[in-house]
Chain A
Amino acid sequence: MSDPESSQEPGHGKHDFTGVLLPVSFNEPLGRLKALAEFMKKFGTTRVVLLHVVSSGLERSSRVARRMETLRGEFEPLFEEIEDVVRQGSPALEICRMAQKRQTRFIAIPWKKKDFLQRTLLGSTTQDVVRLSLLPVFVYKGEVSGKKPGDLRNMLYAANFDQSHERIMDYLRTRDMEATNLYAVHVGERAPDPMTEQARREAVFNRLNDLLGECADWFHTLEPVSLVGNPRREILRAARKYRADVIIMGKFSHGGTMEKLVGSTAEAVTHKARCSVLIVPGTEHPQ
């Protein structure tokens, strides 16, 4: 595991959104991609790597090149630098590999809803990327929740104070992700007795208030929220309650049996949330 502060190589270690890898399957409606581009512009993205992974072998290269050219044309007026890449192989693996190779700061994926049967039989590239990536992954669901592109009012940080916390704070402390309201939500386990529970809640509120204090310059309203229960369910419930436009949360693998069976909280929230989700891994790229 690398220390986040030890990332010295150019292109790594600085926590901003300047460079993005955007995987495209050409099945996405152009409107959605444009909406995502608006969102990324608001984050301060200047460089975009468009990636298409040919997995079936039936796609004609000329057709792929033509579609890529069209897409590039749409994106060029919005960003300073556009690069397109076509690869063959497993989509999730190639996305993670190319993001690392092209030294992008994050991966942005336009969400495509899949029903239970599709997910079970075909799997979900988005969830695979969330699981595999060592870079932050932004899953854009703007259209799903009916928001206008770039409309960022309420941000919900599902704080767990684990390895990803400092990285997430780097993002929250910049103007890149400026939103109106920030809700710092912590979902914990209830202590075994009322007195210990009281002390636990106080400790949680203290930490959440410290966290919000660091972000006070960038948000109009800051609210600490301490919840108890199943993290995936409570985060989603809080996101609905506070009408979050983006959920930002960390990801750190325990390697536990339950995680292996049902996936991590980050994967579940990514799948079930009605708003966009930014997942920040606890472990950075090895340098």
Chain B
Amino acid sequence: MIKRNAVFILSLLLSLPFIVMGLFTPGFLNRLSSIIHAAIISHFGWGYLLSVFFFLVFALYLAFSRYGKLKLGKDYEKPQYSYFGWFSMLFAAGMGIGLIFWGVAEPLSHFSNPPDYLSSDSRRAAKFAMQRSFFHWGLHPWAVYITMSLSIAFFSFRRGMPPLISSCFFPLLGDRIHGWPGYSIDLLAVFATVFGIATSLGLGALQITSGIAVVTPLTESMGLTLSIIGVVTILFMLSSATGLDTGIQILSKANILVAVILLGFMLVVGPTSYILNIFTSTLGEYGSALLTMSLSTNPFLGYDWTKDWTLFYWAWWIAWSPFVGLFVASISRGRTVREFILGALLVPTLLTFIWFAVFGGAAFHLELERGIALSEAVGNNVSTALFELFEHYPLTPLLTTLTLLLLGVFFVTSADSATYVLSMMTSRGNLNPPLSRKIVWGLLQSATAASLIFSGGLEALQKMAIAAALPFAIVMLFLSLSLIRAMRYEWVHERPHEADGEKAMDEGSPADGDSLE
């Protein structure tokens, strides 16, 4: 009984001290997490850059290699969801809430506070801001998610193992995945997810509060934020109870439609050709500078900027990857490796680029062409950036309401999928985890987010999530090794007719495995 629930019990027991610390001694947790976070980012920043770049190369290699033909499921299986349903859920789980938060705020933040070698509020800073926003939200985060979700999908749907991160290590650890090495990997994943989701939901609740204060006579207050968390909790628990097929899918599709409406409206009503120019130009700059940006720590110029932004994001994506990876895997059954990688890498990235070009471009048009100091307002309160932008466009109340709706639904889908993933991870990979477990995790997440907003320990817990990303980056590098070994094994030993000329190469010395199977 205890062994069966080891990950569930241990993850609860080990998470609680941090949550309690965040509640009662937020100052201490903040100091502790700041020290760990600063040490990791300062000393291992290069490791994050190299790892994330490796994941991108790895994903591209797999997509175009012979393994691209393998299916994430049995050979006869068809994809469970339509392209629209799949892309909607990918986007909702992977970016969603963050993109609404940062769509305007990030370009304007880089514009006001660029690295030392650029003067702030300049046109060169604007160009830099757009390029880096594309970079931080483009191919790299999706490569991190893909590495994780591809491994989980391959080992669970194709090889019949439980959908757990520890399952992906069978080629390396063997039966030890059912012992402490395996439990430790799953525990680390649960930590990163609990801390990451709690802080993300907390930040989302704060942004919704700001939005409501803009469109209604209500003022920003703790009571309002807590009420929002309460309402959203009820909604996502209902969604969670209805299951993945109905709840999250319908909400995600609806959300994508709302997002596209918002995007289309801003593109048409806003400075269309200015936005399209920014999109085209930044796309080119992103493409040509991809390698440089991927590996640039800027040790001579602006390392602090790299630490505060790029390294923060990379650690954040890695910390999010167990959650997004498990969720994305669960919706990708039946797709081929190539289809999965190219779909998950290119479509959400393109949509993200359009989002940044439209909202960032509209903001820069106001700032640079019309002399409206939007960046100043954003500097004062990042969560109001999008609403500040809407103030200068027609139908402001409608746009703000739509955005609040979007935020609310993304909030619900994120919390719903996080609850599902946490319950699955702590019930030995059960694809239909018990409702009681979903309720425990759902309530714990919301209670943590609410309590941390109240105590002010939200950012401290976010730093703990980022600290958990370092060991997880190492776990992910081994994950890649394990995945490639498994795919290679299958190709060489189970599909020899397709290995063709390569077969002879693999029948030789024991250095490359046996030739028995």
Contacts and interface: CB of A to CB of B under 8 A. Distances in A.
Contacts of A187: 510, 514
Given A252-B508, A252-B509, A253-B508, A192 B514 contact: no
B65 to A, nearest CB: 15
B515 A193 contact: no
A158 B508 CA distance: 13
B433 interface: no
A81 to B, nearest CB: 35
B511 A231 contact: yes
A204 B516 contact: yes
B490 interface: yes
A207 B160 CA distance: 27
A281 to B, nearest CB: 11
B513 interface: yes
A191 interface: yes
B308 interface: no
A24 to B, nearest CB: 30
A162 B503 CA distance: 12
B516 A193 contact: no
Contacts, number: 102
A255 B506 CA distance: 10
Interface string A161-197: 1110000000000000000000000111111111111
Interface string A221-262: 000000010011001000000000000001111111011000
Nearest to B482: A192
Interface residues of A, number: 39
B515 A162 contact: yes
B511 A193 contact: no
B516 A207 contact: yes
A175 B222 CA distance: 89
A65 interface: no
**Chain B at the A interface: SS class:** helix
A235 B517 contact: no
B517 A254 contact: no
B25 to A, nearest CB: 45
Interface in B471-517: 485-486, 489-490, 493-494, 505-517
A266 to B, nearest CB: 7
A189 B159 contact: no
Nearest to A251: B509
Contact of B511 (A190, A196, A204, A258): A258
Interface stretch (B4-12, B41-49, B169-177, B396-404): B169-177
Interface in B219-266: none
B74 to A, nearest CB: 13
A191 B517 contact: yes
Given A192-B170, A195-B160, A203 B516 contact: yes
Given A192-B155, A194-B170, A254 B505 contact: yes
Contacts of A158: 510
Interface string B152-178: 000100011100000000111011000
A265 B514 CA distance: 13
B160 A193 contact: yes
Given A160-B515, A196-B159, A203-B517, A189 B489 contact: yes
Interface of A: 158, 160-163, 186-197, 199-200, 203-204, 207, 228, 231-232, 235, 250-256, 258-259, 264-266, 282
12 contacts: A161-B514, A186-B516, A188-B514, A189-B171, A193-B159, A194-B161, A194-B175, A196-B159, A197-B170, A203-B517, A231-B511, A252-B509
